[in-house]
Amino acid sequence: MRFHASTISRVSHLRNKAPISCQASAKPQSNHKQGCNFGIAFDIDGVILRGRVPIGGSPQALRRLYGDSGELSVPYLFLTNGGGVPETKRAKELSELLEVNIMASQVVQGHSPFRNLLKKFENELIIATGKGDPALVMSEYGFKKVLSLEEFASYFENIDPVSQYKKWTSMPLSNKKAPSVPIYDVSSERVMAAFVVSDPVDWGRDIQVLCDVLRSGGLLGDANNYQPPLYFAADDLEYQAAFPYKRLGMGAFRIALESVFNRTSAKSLEYVTYGKPNPFVFKNAEIILSQLRSSSCQNPYENNGVLGSQPFKTLYMIGDNPSVDVKGAQQAGHPWFSILTRTGVFRGKDNHTEFPADLVVDSVEEAVDYILKRECVESGS
Ligand code: G3P
Ligand code: MG
């Protein structure tokens, strides 16, 4: 049963057959004594941030998940389809923007599961594209032979016939890399896989070069029917950035690439997409939250000094995108509980019709307030 709750207690009562019994005025309790049989996954764009600006009272909301001495009292992580920088860097950026201490292990980005492909491509030549530093992301995961698509393209004169018109790509001369000798011999060494790590910046060039690479078996000019594997970190059609209206995301780029490729090739494009709403993302989040619980929260199921591995009672997904965040939590099933905020992609008054959340709130602050009351945890802030 799904609700767009205007009254929180009604939602709780209906869904779990137990009304919220803790009152806002209840005496603060120690989270450590309370234990952590719940956890929280926060979407970033449209829930925590819009562009680089915190929204929905996110800094205050996050502060409530820490104890008096700054230790984590509720296991939580960020589950975003965004990315483009290593998790360590993203954690540092988020810590600065949100004024709480965020660990790299609490940041799961769309491309984080690319690590699992290391066995397959560790020593193979791969290309990576997207905003930020996609090649650095892949190198930090352990891939040994990574070229950004930009660098790969730079080794082929005139590969992009309109590049001279792209004044917007100009950067101060001091930042411009001198034409370099290719690190890898791209005229003889095959690209074995292509990764769309984050939202592509130059769609035209990327579509052109990816078509070249994928149609030629990874070696430009080669007549080869084999298509190297293509991986997308996410498949969001739209997302909430700094602009007030929704912006096209990686899913839109995928559609553009796919339609051009399919019109210009004998075979249809083959690809794999990661990120929410894939159920494995939520499974993985559950594992990480469980590790965070073991390392940061006293486990109520502790037995003879051995931390129990009791499953979570509830895991909350707080998101702004019904077809990504809510659909993902729904597909993942128990113990996931979806909370939809009105601060991003979704702005409806009532619940979303196709992917109704378990709860709809105005902001992440309201969502955290609801969770802490429902879980009978009163924070000090
Ligand atoms: O590029 C970012 C976007 O696709 C979604 O990010 O945090 O809303 O999952 P998020
Ligand atoms: Mg979002």
Q: For ligand 1, is residue 80 a contact (CB within 6 Å)?
A: yes
43 lines ligand 1 (CB under 6 A): yes
Residue 144: per-residue pLDDT: 97
> Is 241 a pocket residue for ligand 1 (Cβ < 6 Å)?
no
Q: What is the DSSP letter of 306?
A: B
Return the ligand 1 atom nearest residue 325 CA. Answer: 9
| pLDDT score recorded for residue 20 | 55
Tell me the best of 137, 232, 236 to mutate to test the pocket of ligand 1, counting ligand atoms within 8 Å of each CB and taking the most.
236
In CATH, what class is 112-162+177-273? alpha beta
Residue 86: which residues within 8 A CB-CB, separation 6 or more? Answer: 133, 136, 137, 140
Q: Which atom of ligand 1 is nearest to the CA of 236?
A: 4
Nearest in space to 6 (alpha carbons), one of 356, 350, 364, 352 = 350
Task: Please list, in sequence order, all residues whose beta carbon lies within 8 angstroms of the beta carbon of residue 96, skipping any fewer than 6 positions away.
Answer: none
Contact 152, 216 (CB under 8 A): no
**Is the CB–ligand 1 distance for residue 82 below 6 Å?**
yes
Q: Which ligand is located closest to the Cα atom of residue 321?
A: 2
Residues 108-140: tens digit of each pLDDT: 999 999 999 999 999 999 999 999 999 999 999
Ligand 1 atom 8, closest CA: 45
Strand partners, 231: 195, 272
Q: How far is the CA of 345 from the centre of ligand 2 (A)?
A: 7
Residues with CB in 5 Å of ion ligand 2:
43, 45-46, 320-321
Report whether residue 46 contacts ligand 1, using a CB cutoff of 6 Å.
yes
**pLDDT of amino acid 307:** 47
**What does the DSSP assignment read for 158-184?**
TSSTTGGG-GGG---GGGSPPP---SS
> Has domain 34-79+278-378 been given CATH number 3.40.50.1000?
yes
Residue 211 Cα to ligand 2 middle (Å)? 29
* CB 94 less than 6 A from any atom of ligand 1: no
- The finding on whether 275 has its CB within 6 A of some atom of ligand 1 is no
Which numbered ligand comes closest to the C-alpha of 131? Answer: 1
pLDDT in tens, 86-111: 999 999 999 999 999 999 999 999 99
Give residue 142 CA to ligand 2 midpoint distance, Å.
Answer: 28
User: Which of 378, 197, 234 is CA-nearest to residue 319?
Assistant: 234
Beta bridge pairs of residue 163: none
Place of tokens 């293509």: 230
pLDDT at 177: 56
Tell how far the Cα of 196 is from the centroid of ligand 1, in angstroms. 14
| 331 CB burial (10 A radius; 0-12, 13-18, 19+) | middle
For the chain, 381 residues long, the average pLDDT of each consecutive 10-residue run is 37 37 42 71 98 98 94 96 98 98 98 98 98 98 97 96 82 54 87 98 98 97 91 98 97 98 96 98 98 76 51 97 98 98 97 98 98 82 47
**Which 8-state DSSP code applies to residue 57?**
T
What is the position in ligand 1's atom list of the atom closest to the CA of 276? Answer: 9
Say which residues have a Cβ less than 8 Å from residue 129's Cβ, sequence separation at least 6: 148, 149, 150, 194, 195, 196, 197, 200, 206, 210
Q: From ligand 2's centre to the CA of 154, what distance in Å?
A: 33
79, β-bridge pairs: 108
DSSP state of 303: B
User: Do 112-162+177-273 and 34-79+278-378 have the same topology in CATH?
Assistant: yes
- Closest residue by CA, ligand 1 atom 3: 82
The domain spans of the chain are 34-79+278-378, 112-162+177-273
Q: What number of CA atoms fall less than 13 Å from residue 234's CA on the CB side?
A: 30
For residue 275, the ligand closest to its alpha carbon is 1
